[in-house]
Chain A
Amino acid sequence: MWLPVILAGLVALSACSTTQGSVGSSPTKESFTASILSADQVRAQYGQNYLVDPFLSQGGSFLGASNDFIVVRIALASPSGGEFSLESASAVDAKGNTFAGYLSALRLENLAAEASSADIGGASTLQAKIQWYYLLSEDFQVKPGRHSYLVILAGRHPLPDGLTAHIVAVFDGTVKVFDLPIPDAD
């Protein structure tokens, strides 16, 4: 009986929604880039601590973080849209050894649920941020427009210096390989 009421409410609220993942005006040509966000950038844009920001690695006063997160932003712009596929994402050293790997959205949601047990911020806030900003699937159809997605590479703390984020992705038939130097930890 009440389900239609809830759904009607959702439809009404959806009327004021923005296009999912879209950023800015309609593009006239395709672009496909990737960049690494610093921890300060992540805090400034998504929240100051991990109870409200699922893209920060969890750590306490004495135990510290078990894992380090490398946050990569993938930005797509396309007037016509296309198929996107993340083929691989990892942090490697000069010899090709892997130190951090791709964290799936589901895995990130599990970690967020763990953090939210402190009841500050709430799981719904964290999961909403993941749903909105994170790459939810490795293969999906991108609509026309500008879009950006976060991808996290997680590795055992402390990560060594001199790593490179190696990302292979395909967008609209174009294969791109990104080798992004990861800034050394302070």
Chain B
Amino acid sequence: MKKALVLLLLLALVGAFAFAQSAPSAGSFHAWNRGTFYPYAQVGSDPAVTAWGPQWDNTGIDQEWNFSYDSGADKSGNSYGFTATDEFGGKQLFATNGASGTTQWFNTYFDVANTVKLEFGIPRNYDYSIGGFAEPYSGWETNNWNMIECNTDALALATLTPTAGFKIGFGMYSGDAPQLFTAQASGGALNATETGLANNFVVLASYTAPKIATINAWYKAEDQDTSVTNDPFIANSTSGELKALDINATLISVTNYTFELGYVGEFQNSSNPITRFEFGAKGTQSQLSDALDFVYAGDSAVTAFAAELALEYAVSGPYAIGALVGYDNGDGANWFEGGYGGYAGFMINPYFAINFANGSRVRVGVLYASGVSSVTSDPSNQLGPNFPSTVTQAVIGIPIDYVWSF
């Protein structure tokens, strides 16, 4: 099996050089910083709780920095690069992943004529800043390993694109790889005693029918302990081997609209698998952009669902107004678009935004969430707010967030 894989990659390398094209573009370095400042009050509690930092972080402004470099393609079409992200907000700058420290992701890659791509790094885990439940199922993206939904400290991934529109990939997790700046924490994301290939791998495939649809699928086996919440909506309650299958499709045959359908099955507990369905629609018509998302997740005990509508209207120049409206039944991990995860019940967030031509953006709004939930937060994964117990309070906040390209 391994020999066949190596042979396949070598053949692809030969083919890649044979069909490589000249594209004399320069190497490019990019950096962006995004953050959220979020004064809020939980109006239903006794006494009312107020704070100035993001509710899910509770440590002041929450932000992350990203630096990336891409060499640009040489005459043979080869390129290399990296992307590195560090998230912190009033916490230690360099510390172990998790609630007490910062979170870091890193990915370095070498791309041979866009045919073979070799990647290695620390994949992005679930995080509030993924921004909306449209993302977790949107499939395996070139540099966005978070789409694989892995809870691991290192991942090596080989991607083969034998022809335009078709990709296959194979990745191996490492359960006990060192962190960038500190040693692996005790009881980390993976059970270090089971780090073999059979317990830690992912296979992926993607096919695009031009201007019709893209279908992505991955299957993974991942060993993990109970400290990790893998599913973004329902916590896994057992430790050990997790096997998961994701199939999602994006329809692109309607001009200026995309429709996404996704299915995820998680089989960590064979007698009680988690099933998740997601649907998304995004569109743009002149000055109006809109998105609708719906997610359902359930096992034998829990039925969680959420829906959200996002609208934004470009008024004039860089100025826009918009609103997010959503509902979450409170049995899941409480997910709300725009980085304000952790709420349940009815939510509404009208806002004013400035969109700059270089990709920077500032958004200021008011958020109300009725706040009824049966679950508490999961600070180890930074999925939800730092609520000490069951959420029953309504919340009024003034979220101010930005992303700035340098």
Contacts and interface: CB of A to CB of B under 8 A. Distances in A.
A80 to B, nearest CB: 20
Chain A CB count within 10 A is highest, among B77, B134, B358, for B358
Interface string B241-281: 00000011111111100111111010000000000010000
Contacts of A52: 289
Interface stretch (A10-18, A30-38, A168-176, A178-186): A10-18
Given A131-B252, A154-B23, A105 B31 contact: no
A136 B70 contact: no
A98 B22 CA distance: 11
B406 A61 contact: yes
B291 to A, nearest CB: 9
B210 A61 contact: no
B114 A60 contact: no
Contacts of A7: 249
B131 interface: yes
A110 interface: yes
B55 to A, nearest CB: 19
B6 interface: no
Interface residues of A, number: 65
Given A18-B254, A67-B72, A118-B66, A104 B142 contact: no
B28 A58 contact: yes
A60 B129 contact: no
B250 A49 contact: no
A99 B26 CA distance: 11
Given A10-B261, A120-B403, A113 B141 contact: yes
Interface string A9-30: 1100110111011000000000
A63 B406 contact: yes
A18 B255 contact: yes
A101 B20 CA distance: 13
B144 A116 contact: yes
Contacts of A66: 25-29, 72
Chain A CB count within 10 A is highest, among B129, B144, B314, for B144
A98 to B, nearest CB: 7
Contact of A6 (B27, B130, B252, B261): B261
Contacts of A155: 24-26
A107 B73 contact: yes
Interface in A97-118: 98-107, 109-111, 113-118
A94 interface: no
B25 A113 contact: no
Contacts of B27: 66
Interface stretch (B41-49, B94-102, B211-219, B328-336): B211-219
Contact of B211 (A2, A47, A131): A131
Contact of B164 (A101, A106, A116, A132): A106
Nearest to B404: A61
Contacts of A114: 30, 68, 70, 81, 83, 142-143
B361 interface: yes
Given A117-B68, A117-B85, A102 B21 contact: yes
Contacts of A41: none
B17 interface: no
Contacts of B34: 118-119
A141 B247 CA distance: 30
Given A14-B212, A14-B253, A107-B114, A117 B143 contact: yes
B208 interface: yes
Nearest to B68: A114
B258 A128 contact: yes
Contacts of B249: 6-7, 9-10
Interface in B90-123: 111, 114
Contacts of B259: 13
A94 B66 CA distance: 40
Contacts of A132: 211, 252, 255
B114 A106 contact: yes
Contact of B360 (A20, A61, A100, A117): A61
Given A98-B22, A101-B22, A117-B85, 4 more contacts: A52-B289, A62-B406, A113-B144, A119-B135
16 contacts: A18-B253, A20-B210, A48-B314, A50-B359, A98-B22, A100-B25, A101-B25, A102-B23, A110-B114, A114-B68, A122-B138, A127-B214, A128-B282, A136-B164, A136-B165, A155-B26
